[in-house]
A and B are shown apart, each in its own frame.
Chain A
Amino acid sequence: MLFKAFLIKYGEIGIKGKNRYLFEDALMDQIRYALRDTEADFEVTKEQGRIYVEMNGDYDYDEVVDALGRVFGIVGICPVIISEKCRWEDLCRITGDYMEENYPDLNLTFKVFCRRADKHIYKPSMEMAADMGEYLLDRFSQLSVDVHHPQVSLNIEVRERVYIYSIEIPGPGGMPIGTNGRATLLLSGGIDSPVAGYMIAKRGVKIDAVYFHAPPYTSERAKQKVVDLAAIVARYAGPIRLHVINFTDIQLAIYEKCPHDELTIIMRRYMMRIAQSIALEEKSMGLITGESIGQVASQTMQSLLVTNAVCSLPVYRPLIGFDKNDIVDISKEIGAFETSIEPYEDCCTIFVAKHPVTKPNEHHICRSEHHLADVIDQMVETAIKTQEIIDCG
């Protein structure tokens, strides 16, 4: 049996009052975007507060469910079969066949829910549900009814046609992209930052990304890896614009003029400053990083304080309380892990002191940065001016 449509269940959107239609429209746009690359011919419709994806002709079920499973805002995906309005006896037979096909075992409890948009057909909804239940009990002796905690909730909805469904595949939840502004992700080649981008995007935020490239200390392949990671996040977050900043000169200047145990922290402060300039240009409302307290020297509370001090935009750190294992789990779930662990250097791992400061003091750091005073503004300006833009996804 081919499911002819998918009923899309969404959660938090439902409570957004007068803005509800904005959220629903964004969700429909995202569904269309996600299905764009499938071979299916489909139509996304909204009827009486429900979103349906109706399929025309043959399509690859797994591919479509997989694509819908990446659309933020979807809580559940229900594959639906559609019947023309027919005689009651035929509807019973079709429903019975549906049950038989989807639950071969049939040794389970169920409950029938009926809804009619067309009130002139069949019988009152409650009566319809009871009669359908009786028909099924008669036809399949293993079935039993449980009206409080049924294992299968069988839904029959009568509209222009009759929709039958009982299966709900969980969606990713969250909010549709485009309903919550825009933020700029500091994307490295590591495990954390793609996950951070994914998590903020899940709240409906449109994402840009910044990558700091340091040739010849980082290779073309390291850059390609970041482009690949952006494309992986874009499968969920929609197209991502990646700003590639050549960071070599700044990094070398820091290496030459500043104390080595402060290299990383100073480097990160310049990365944040540059990311913020780009964010402001892109009308982005915040920065996103993959930092998590205490993971490395530059992510102690003291280091975060000193790094944060150069930003006026809010910095979103969705992984702040996560253990590495938890981050790895999400990374695997979204399909980024294999790419993240490819062995190409990113610029954070090259200029690392043996014993970096773990409790930097902002006053000291500012004094160190003062050694860069005559060159750094020009370098930052050049780095921003010569950025390369790559659209991913």
Chain B
Amino acid sequence: MEIYLDNAATTRVYPQAAETVLKVMREDYGNPSSLHMKGVDAEKYLRDSRETLARLLKVEQKEIVFTSGGSESNNMAIVGSVLANKRLGRHVITTRIEHPSVYNPMEFLREEGYEVTYLPVDEYGLVRLDALKKALRPDTCLVSVMAVNNEIGTIEPLEDIAGIVRQTNPHTLIHVDAIQAFGKMKIYPSRLGIDLMSASGHKFHGPKGTGFLWIKSGTKVHPLILGGGQQKGMRSGTENVPGYAGMGSAARLEFDHLDEKIDRLYELREYFIENVLKIEGTHLNGGRYRGSFSMSQEGMAGHCAAPHIVNISFEDIRAEVLLHALEEKEIYVSSGSACSSNHPQLSGTLKAIGVPRALLDSSLRFSFSYDTDKDQIDMCLQALGELLPVLRRYTPGGRKRR
């Protein structure tokens, strides 16, 4: 039986969402811009999906722009907002542990003459608020911080960050990459006091090639894709109607009984961590406990993580070998961030939180979904227990261990 523990890379589409996609493709295939009935029927799916997302986020429907996914949302939020708000200044702030779809647009801005400050993080991956305070300037036009780190699951203190930014420089825009958070954390962008928020459909059991950007009304963002003026000109191109319908349907399912599901997932996560740390030579990277977007609450500041991501370092093991050994048992996990696994040098988070050099290449990410059950976790733990001693027989450090 297949055990898929790589849900931070992508998820399996909910059957109901897949059915929606198929139905739209086969029956309601019209172009939402067409004037006839076929177009009107198609447009209805977009409206439904937008309405669902708006309801779940407690925002206005008109504030949601559909995109091709997380990367496009991040690109649009960063490049588009800076282009449209040149008068705010030419300084932007982000962190050292962002996903490449934030990091690379930032580097693009830097090449275009903007100044970019990369904030350091502490040993749990938490943005250093003192560094943020120091970095903010009157000409800072954008602060972009992720909600949940994709490699180790750190929850960033978004409320505190937004508070500091608003206090220092009320005009500065705040973007949150919520791609790993949406559906796994309760996140309400207008309450957080931010301006832009990205999400990706395939991270919550929707189809790939779908995502959205929430843009607080009144916030100016320059579109990156110009053309026929779809989505009020914010994102041209005939809408991916089946995809967006499927994403809406997936979001509905993901948020159904969300509180209970989050509780259960945290229990599962703790169970996994507790047992995996019993194995010799293992270390947890990032926080262990349940948390929120506020430092002041919960009293666990700095030790918190999202419910679905666990990152473990295994001494004297090469992550890739362990990954393939687990794969032989049909257990699928990830080394670093799957998107960048082909470029191991890019795995910045572990470096940024100070994981020792020897362990950088020895870390695996296990990421769960609401479909993950305890049996699967047990089987994964059992497989690790069996594989580690065998694999360590064939590594220099592991030989000494015996």
Residue positions of A touching B, CB distance < 8 A = 215-219, 252, 255-256, 343, 345, 350-351
Q: Verify B327–A252 contact, CB threshold 8 A.
A: no
Whether B325 pairs with A216 at a CB distance below 8 angstroms is yes
Closest to B329 in A: A216
Of all chain B residues, the one with the shortest Cβ separation from A345 is: B320
Contact A255 B320, beta carbon cutoff 8 Å:
no
- Interface status of B62 (Cβ within 8 A of chain A): no
Contact status A255-B394, CB under 8 Å: yes
In whole angstroms, how far apart are the Cα atoms of A255 and B343 in the complex? 28
Q: Determine the distance from Cα of A343 to Cα of B322 in the docked complex, in whole angstroms.
A: 18
Instruction: For the complex, give the distance between the alpha carbons of A345 and B342 in Å.
Output: 11
B393 at the binding interface (Cβ < 8 Å)? yes
- Give residues of chain B (308-357) contacting chain A, Cβ–Cβ below 8 Å: 320-328, 342-343
Contact present for B320 and A219 (CB under 8 Å): yes
Min CB gap B125→A, angstroms: 26
Complexed CA–CA distance, A343 and B320 (Å): 13
Tell me how far the C-beta of A339 lies from the nearest C-beta in chain B, rounded to whole angstroms: 14
- CB–CB B393/A217 < 8 A: no
* Residue of A whose beta carbon sits closest to that of B322: A216
Taking CB atoms, residues of chain B closer than 8 Å to A218 are 324
| CB within 8 Å: A-B pair count | 25
Q: Which 5 A-B pairs have the closest CB atoms?
A: A216-B324, A216-B325, A255-B394, A219-B324, A216-B321
Neighbour of B324 across the interface among A215, A252, A256, CB < 8 A: A215
Beyond the given A215-B328, A216-B324, A216-B328, please list 9 additional residue pairs across the A-B interface where CB-CB is below 8 A.
A216-B322, A216-B323, A216-B325, A218-B324, A219-B324, A252-B394, A256-B394, A343-B342, A343-B343
Chain B residues closer than 8 Å to A216, beta-carbon distance: 321-328
Residue of A nearest to B342 (CB): A343
Chain B residues with CB below 8 A from A345, complex form: 320
> In the assembled complex, how far is the CB of residue A80 from the closest CB belonging to chain B, in whole angstroms?
47
Chain B residues within 8 Å of A, Cβ to Cβ: 320-328, 342-343, 393-394
What CA separation (Å) do A216 and B323 show in the bound complex? 8
Q: How many angstroms from the CA of A218 to the CA of B323 in the assembled complex?
A: 11
B324 and chain A: residue at smallest CB distance? A216
B385 to chain A, nearest CB (A): 16
Q: Who on chain A is nearest to B328 by CB?
A: A216
Q: Provide the bound-state CA to CA distance between A218 and B324, in Å.
A: 8
Interface of A, helix, strand, loop or mixed by DSSP: loop
Specify the chain A residue showing the minimal Cβ separation from B325. A216
Question: B342 touching A217 by the CB < 8 A rule?
Answer: no
In the bound complex, residues from chain A placing their C-beta under 8 Å from that of B322 are 216
Q: How far is the CB of A205 from chain B (nearest CB, A)?
A: 35
Q: State A255–B390 Cα separation when bound (angstroms).
A: 13
Rounded to whole Å, the gap between the CB of B396 and the closest CB of chain A is: 8
Chain B contacts of A215 at CB under 8 A?
324, 328
- Closest Cβ of chain B to A215, distance in Å, is 6
Task: Return the chain B residue nearest A260 by Cβ.
Answer: B396
A219 and B321 CA atoms in complex are apart in Å by: 8
Which residues of B have CB within 8 Å of A219? 320, 324
A contact residues around B321 at 8 Å (CB):
216-217, 350
Q: How far is the CA of A218 from the CA of B393 in the complex (A)?
A: 17
Residues on B with C-beta less than 8 A from A252 are: 393-394
| Complexed CA–CA distance, A204 and B320 (Å) | 41
Question: Can you list 10 A-B pairs with a CB-CB distance of less than 8 A?
Answer: A215-B324, A216-B321, A216-B322, A216-B323, A216-B326, A216-B328, A217-B321, A217-B324, A219-B320, A256-B394
| CB-based nearest B residue for A351 | B394
A350 to B342, CA, bound (A): 17
Shortest CB distance B16–A (Å): 31
Give Cα A256–Cα B343 distance, bound, in whole angstroms.
31
Which chain B residues lie closer than 8 Å to A256 at the CB level? 393-394
Min distance, Cβ B319 to any Cβ of chain A, angstroms: 11
Distance in angstroms between the alpha carbons of A350 and B318 in the assembled complex: 10
Question: Nearest Cβ distance between residue A252 and chain B, in whole angstroms?
Answer: 6
Q: Which of chain B's residues have a CB closer than 8 A to the CB of A255?
A: 394
A351 CA / B393 CA spacing, docked (Å): 13
Alpha-carbon gap, A6 to B31, bound state (A): 49
Bound: A252/B321 CA distance, A: 13
On chain A, the residues within 8 Å of B328 by CB distance are 215-216
Q: Which of A216, A255, A256, A343 has the most CB of B within 10 A?
A: A216
Chain B nearest Cβ from A365, distance in angstroms: 21
Task: Give A256 to B324 CA distance when docked, in angstroms.
Answer: 21
A218 to B342 alpha-carbon distance, docked (Å): 14
Contacts of B323 in A (CB 8 A): 216
Expressed in whole angstroms, the Cα–Cα distance for A261 and B328 within the complex equals 29
Which chain A residues lie closer than 8 Å to B324 at the CB level? 215-219
Tell me the complex Cα distance, A219–B341, Å. Answer: 13
Bound together, the chains give a CA A217 to CA B395 distance in angstroms of: 12
The interface residues of chain A lying within 8 Å CB-to-CB of B394 are 252, 255-256, 351
User: How close is A279's CB to chain B, nearest CB, in angstroms?
Assistant: 29
**Distance in angstroms between the alpha carbons of A217 and B342 in the assembled complex:** 16
